[in-house]
Amino acid sequence: MKVEKTHERQNRFSGESIWLTKEEAKIHDSIFYYEYLATLEDKKVGIDGYSKLWEKVRKGIDYFRKNNAEAYMVLLD
């Protein structure tokens, strides 16, 4: 069964893009959602890396490292 790659995502720095599955797009979006929230929490406390939400960011990044290395290299590396 072929999985449809119907969701395009773009690297925020390089502008390079790649197509993802619906599930991969959700994981990708969650990485940046939790990164934003973690950064806010860190700033509020005044300690970089304080937020427990960084674990969710790392979990999402690890998913791409293990399951879609090409997307990892384009979007997250």
SS3 of residue 40 by DSSP: helix
Total domains in the fold of the chain: 1
Domain with 62, as residue range(s), is 7-76
Answer whether residue 1 shows pLDDT above 80.
no
pLDDT band at 2 (very low <50, low <70, confident <90, very high): confident
Does residue 1 lie in a domain region?
Answer: no
Torsions phi, psi for 61 (to 5 deg): -65, -45
Answer whether residue 3 shows pLDDT above 90.
no
Does residue 54 lie in a domain region?
Answer: yes
Does residue 2 lie in a domain region?
Answer: no
Summarised one tens digit per residue, pLDDT across range 29-53 is 999 999 999 999 999 999 999 999 9
Q: How far apart are CA 48 and CA 61, in angstroms?
A: 19
Does residue 61 lie in a domain region?
Answer: yes
Q: What percent of the chain has pLDDT over 90?
A: 95
